[in-house]
Structure 1
Amino acid sequence: MPALCGTVLNACLHLSVLPQVKMAIKEPLVHASSKRHPWIVYFTTFVAVCGSYEFGACAGYSSPTQDAIRKDLSLSLAEYSLFGSILTFGAMIGAITSGLIADLVGRKGAMRVSSAFCVAGWIAIYFSEGPVPLDIGRLATGYGMGVFSYVVPVFVAEIAPKELRGALTTLNQFMIVTGVSVSFIIGNVLSWRALALIGLIPTAVLLFGLFFIPESPRWLAKRGRGKDFEVALQILRGKDADISQEAEEIQDYIITLDRLPKPKLLDLFQRRYLRSVTISVGLMFCQQLGGINGVCFYTSSIFELAGFSTTIGTIIYACLQIVITGIGAALIDKVGRKPLLLLAGSGLVAGCIFTAVAFYLKVQEVSLGAVPALAVTGILVYIGSFSIGMGAIPWVVMSEIFPVNIKGQAGSLATLVNWFGAWLCSYTFNFLMSWSSYGTFILYAAINAVAILFIIVMVPETKGKSLEQLQAAINA
């Protein structure tokens, strides 16, 4: 998606195009006098992040419904464990195909496909009378999650003005944690079948709203639909806004990219794209291998092991997650991506150390009265730190740094890595805890410390720059 026209004559010139793009880009994009953004930008973002809320509703469904589903359908623990974990496999499949779908049928089309899978999945769960339809439904909602996890942040980044891009893209993570928390709370009141029907609501809002919002202008430009591109961009920037400079930058960079060879999956690892792939994949590993899904999926058991009330602990956990994610969304375009990532990484290390010390004291039977307070402090510091930076920002950066010609393949790769990391963390957590409760959190602290070093060395600041500027600089 960045800018400049030039003729690519051979493979040697291919390597020189992006540095030329970097030199040609000017400080852009929205008419300087317009700091009041039209309501359609916010409405379009709201419609898109209904997909993020659906993501959270799918992820949060299994925790409050476990006992009721096992009792009603006479499921063994192994059968219910398959039901819970198959969501991740569906998400991996969704991640693999998400970029291709979003490139072929557009960002709106991909959201429709994802919504259809979620609707089918919830209906299958609602009518289930045994484990097989239950698992099929869960697999379908997982597929929808995998597509949403890629297409929503990409779509929001592509339609947002650069000064709002960070905050609007961070709403993706905010809506995910809101969906998880609401599902957990109302799942303790409603039946598991009723909760499945509630899961249809955000998809209904999304599908209805898609009729009233424009397609991504950058995707339209990439598909050669010049008139539709200008109409969509004008709608998003306001009828009186001067879009000529922004439109020219986007179109020029699309032309430049079209003259490059069409990338294959292995081409992502060429020198031209290697830095952006390394940044995105590295951030996804940092996000997942630092322990988040182990902590998130087994919060209740962690509090119980530490001797703290699981009900009080999980409610505080859910509320804190929503509040801190909201604060992160408000700060991301003021403070920047990199400072928030470093703050989050430091907090994750501290939270892991607090929790490790608590479990060490319990194992050694020393100062047992301090164990609950230390463990709760550690977990809350951990989830607060994750929520302010490490949860949302890897997705924001992923949506910003890939040129449009490789965004589908590269985004699918990054999303697949994220879901593989999520599975690996959640699968190994109980094994690690049975090995050593405090050793588990020491290991997570070490991984998060390595993540801090990775962020310092590799991750650029993307605040306040157009997508074209960023991609030209990183992929030079």
Structure 2
Amino acid sequence: MESESSKLLCGSSSKVETTTPITFVLLLSTFAAACGSTSYGFAVGYSSPAEAGIMDDLGLSLANYSAFSSILTLGGAIGALISGRVESIGRRVTMWLLELCFIIGWLSIIFAKNIWWLNAGRLLMGIGAGLHCYVAPIYVAEITPKNIRGGSTAAVTFTVSCAFSVMFFAGNFFTWRKLAVIGAIPCFIHVVCIFFIPESPRWLVGVGLMLLVQFGGTDGISSFAGSIFKAAGCSTGFSSTMMAMIQLPFAPSSVLLMDNTGRRPLLMVTATGACLGSFLVGLGFLFQDYQQSKELTATLVFTGILVYSACFSAGMGGTPWVIMSEIFPINIKGQGGTLVTLANWFSSWIVTFSFNFIFQWSSAGVFFVFAIFCASIVFFVAKLVPETKGRTLEEIQASMTLLQ
């Protein structure tokens, strides 16, 4: 009887496992991984259909183009070399980083003026490919039930071949730059999907928060404040001085408010203020575009920059670092801190480098984008960031474990 019971129990358990439901999150997660494979396949398949166009337009020799084509594999070796270490930061963040490599790589090729741009972009894409080949199969294997695990993993790998074929086919109809634009499309889809698939909330609170803060425009504004004020018709010297002075009383207020109001309220309120400040600046430049009152533009831009600076000093700038220091457990605090710091500086570089180009394209648009990112911080914190005020590190770790 006991033996029969055991068999029945084993059979019942086995049946439950084989009928594990296929949820929307599972499908979305697999689709996200497939988008990563599509990025990889497009990168591999790009060099052949683009060869004639690139060599003619940029005057490359056969040796130059051979180096460009083959450097993808060198990047792949680099990506493979670091994949084990990078993967420890979490599957989602690793996928986000590899797509960042693909996106920057494609952009470098799209706007390439010489062989150096091409090689730099191709090398970055190779690094992304090396990371993808490691993390994608592991991620899919971890999230899928065992009865469909093999097929799901194989399907993601099969996507590489499909993407390779699509790139060859598209090469018959598009120039090499437009072909690169097509290659970048799945990268952006993947980046969006990553925000909706499951992963440890520790990394999302640390890295995601830091990225949103940086893309909120702080370094772009601080690095080019003089140019912004000048474009708005403000007195550069006076406005820059006021921008610096207003931060003096608000910076120490963050020290007082951090433990009194809590991390979450402080960050949400100051991010809302920064959003308002960015919106005012964007509105001022929008009026300028429509040739409205110059005084109105100058007033709005000046006021908006001061509001933004005050809010950033009062909490939006320092609070993410406090949260980061509290949410990572001891055993990964070094890795977590390294990753968040890297994300901070790298995203800062992106914003600082691209600001003038985007500002020339649309002076109002760039600040409306900053306002959107600042608003995103509010929703991000409300939904995902735990309150750490007045809690021991052990209590914080316990609450984070429940979220996973």
Q: Which structure: greater helix fraction?
A: 2
Per chain length, whose mean CA-contact separation is higher, i.e. which structure has more relative contact order (CA < 8 Å, sep 6+)?
Answer: 1
Give 1 or 2 for the bigger CA radius of gyration. Answer: 2
